[in-house]
Structure 1
Amino acid sequence: MAPSVSDAAAKVADVANPKSSAKDYKKESTTARMLGAGCAGIAELMVFHPVDTTAKRLMSNYGKITTASQLNTVVFKDKAGASVGGRFLSLFPGLGYAAAYKILQRVYKYGGQPFARDYLAKNHGDSFDRTFGKGNGKAIMHATAGSLIGIGEIVILPLDVLKIKRQTNPEAFRGRGLFKIIADEGFGLYRGWGWTAARNAPGSFALFGGSAAAKEYLYKLEDYNAASWGQNFVASIAGASASLIVSAPLDVIKTRIQNRNFDNPESGFKIVSKMMRNEGFSSFFKGLTPKLLMTGPKLVFSFWLAQTLIPAFNKMM
């Protein structure tokens, strides 16, 4: 059967103005993915843990901050009156939990997304191309792979819960060690898993999708791994900014669920109701400005490193 005029025209257009296809991908080695993502997680932890603590404490504050003294108390808690060094060290609570969580999270997320992307490219790449068009399909496929990985991140949720409680509500530990808490709380450490998945799905979609879109439309890259350090940096800014804005409301809810005392939990819907009644709609974006200004660079930094180091390690293997 002879091709139709429209099919022939489409083929001519593809030759004249080629687009990267969702089914075309360059697979990196598993070792390169794990090493690149792990190094990014370690570097992020070393540089940005105090920033993360500050953002979490601001999000967990229920009232309005009107004075510098009040801000000082919210951020540094019982160390508000300590020396500069003492206040700075107070921003490193739960560093052990943070190290375990952050490194595992980045290895899982940055190293795992390429596996999901490979699966989608191999089995559904043509469907993405047909539905969204070449170029569009590839960028959306990267975003979808990120979203799937983001949902699965709830597996390591207990480490995030422990990290946040140490940062915002250390009294919840009451002298108990890690194994005692696990034995006492069990699946209670997964409290808020639904809200976490609801936050991660659009947040990770926006992170990987924003980065892919920048590489596809801004830099016209056929192979995203060919991006330079500078191109990866700009793409990471696009992805991280989109992710933080999209996930902000659900992140506030998740944080408030997780920072409650173990013996006094509160459901997400109850928290939403109280926030709307007592604090107004703007409360869902509490901490967004410091997150964009401080946590944003943290995400940009680690995502940029991972996107750059994974292809670099792959070339070295």
Structure 2
Amino acid sequence: MSAVQKQNTESQRARLLGSASAGILELTMFHPVDTISKRLMSNHGRITSLAQVNSVIFKEQANASIAKKFSSLFPGLGYAACYKVLQRIYKYSGQPIVKDFLAKNYGECFDQKFGKGTGKAIMHATAGSIVGIGEVVLLPLDVLKIKRQTNPNAFKGRGIFKLITEEKFALYRGWGWTAARNAPGSFALFGGNAFAKEYVFKLKDYSKATFFQNFCTSIAGACASLIVSAPLDVIKTRIQNKNFDNPQSGFTILKNMIKHEGFSSFFKGLTPKLLTTGPKLVFSFTLAQTLIPLYDRLLK
């Protein structure tokens, strides 16, 4: 029997509760920094002064009081709540389901092809990549959240229900680029995490990892994921932040970025993303990996 197949798996209830808890706590703490990251990625051209940074981040509240500036970082919170919690439930409880399926049906193949330790880690990464691609089903919530954060004028004169009725499948605009971003990003997230558990901490059963071990391995996975997915994430964000009546294709954005902004534009927002989204991803991934086994023990 494959080494992967011998691992105990947590109950679906534990996975659901653990991932939902992680998503709620993440949203509570990190929505403002997510807004900052999205606004920096959406900015066209070079930023050469602190005044420009202030204008890009706070938009029309750039010259307002500190309190108003801070409150301006919470647009789209309702969409973010729906999206982030559903996304974390889908990703953190969905990846183990796919991993269990791969272990049951193809565990021996991974072991034979890559060796037991590496095969197990690559299987975790593959399961993450498959789940990452399927994450496009949540794309409309992400689109609405990003537009609220970066282009609130797109909502003028239209309520949410009218907007959804009018736009319909247009809310899935950029789904191909999103899937292309998610596939390697999720592969790197779960793969980096699994490789660190396998080769740094020498764990045979990943669910037995301590909070510190989960924290360290989550850092490895999160950094790998953000770096790998950065170029496609910039394109995805620019597709999604356009006005509903002025869409642009990903290839047009790609061409304009190369022509007018250069190769470095594909990594715009990477540093603040590593400093903001990185800790956010590490925070939720660490909590999910710690809470799921804990809930599993409590529910037995």
TM-score, normalised relative to structure 1: 0.93
Shift of 1:63: 1.2
**Residue among 152, 157, 178 paired with 1:175:** 157
Does structure 1 residue 250 correspond to structure 2 residue 224?
no
Q: Runs of 4+ in structure 1 displaced over 3 angstroms?
A: none
Residues 122-271 of structure 1 correspond to what in structure 2 (within 5 A)? 122-271=104-253
Aligned residues with identical type, % of pairs: 70
Supply the distance in 1 between the matched residues of 2:35 and 2:158 (Cα, whole angstroms): 21
The offset of 1:21, in angstroms, is 2.2
Q: 1:116 aligned to 2:98?
A: yes
Instruction: Return the alpha-carbon distance in structure 2 between the equivalents of residues 287 and 276 of structure 1.
Output: 16
- Structure 1 counterpart SS, 2:116: coil
Aligned partner of residue 276 in structure 2, secondary structure:
helix
Separation in structure 2 between the aligned mates of residue 231 and residue 153 of structure 1, nearest angstrom:
27
In the TM superposition, what whole-angstrom CA distance separates every residue of 1:137-172 from its partner, at most 9, and x where no partner exists? Answer: 000000000000000000010000000000000000
Q: Which amino acid aligns with 1:87?
A: K
| C-alpha distance in structure 2 between counterparts of 1:21 and 1:82, whole Å | 59
Aligned to 1:48, the other structure's residue is in SS state helix
Distance 2:251 2:8 in 1: 43
Q: Deviations over 1:74-114 (max 9, x none)?
A: 00000111111110110000100000000000000001111
Map Cα deviations across residues 115-135 of structure 1 (whole Å, 9 max, x no partner): 000000000000000100000
Q: 1:72 aligns with which of 54, 57, 62?
A: 54
**One-letter amino acid of the structure 1 residue matched with residue 270 of structure 2:** L
The alpha carbon displacement at 1:71 in A equals: 0.5
- Deviation at residue 26 of structure 1 after TM alignment: 1.6
Give 1:111's aligned amino acid: S
The amino acid across from 2:187 in the alignment is: F
The correspondence for 1:63, drawn from 45, 68, 74, is 45
Q: What is residue 22 of structure 2 aligned with on the other side?
A: 40
SS in 2 for 1:135: helix
Quote how far apart the aligned CAs of 1:24 are: 2.7
- Verify: 1:91 aligned to 2:73, yes or no: yes
Shift of residue 200, structure 1, vs aligned partner: 0.2
Q: Report the Cα distance in structure 2 between the residues aligned to 1:60 and 1:86, rounded to whole angstroms.
A: 22
Cα distance in structure 2, aligned partners of 1:209 and 1:216: 10
Provide the C-alpha distance between the structure 2 equivalents of 1:177 and 1:53, rounded to a whole number of angstroms.
Answer: 21
Q: Distance in 2 between matches of 1:75 and 1:245?
A: 22
Aligned to 1:53: 35
Aligned-residue offset at 1:239: 0.3
1:24–1:121 CA contact under 8 A, matched in 2? no
Q: Deviations over 1:209-241 (max 9, x none)?
A: 000011000011010000000000000000000
Matched AA of 1:297: P
Matching residue of 2:266: 284
Number of matched residues? 298
Shift in Å, 1:173: 0.6
CA contact (8 A) 1:25 1:121 kept: no
Q: Rg larger in 1 or in 2? A: 1
- CA drift of 1:68 comes to 0.7
**How far apart, in 2, do the equivalents of 1:125 and 1:23 lie?**
7
- Specify the alignment match of 2:286 in structure 1: 304
- SS for the counterpart of 1:82 is coil
Letter in 2 for 1:242: A
Task: Say yes or no: does 1:100 pair with 2:113.
Answer: no
Cα displacement (A) at 1:191:
0.1
RMSD (CA atoms): 0.7
Matching residue of 1:28: 10
Residue 177 of structure 1 deviates from its aligned partner by: 1.4
Query: Structure 2 length as normaliser, TM-score?
Result: 0.98
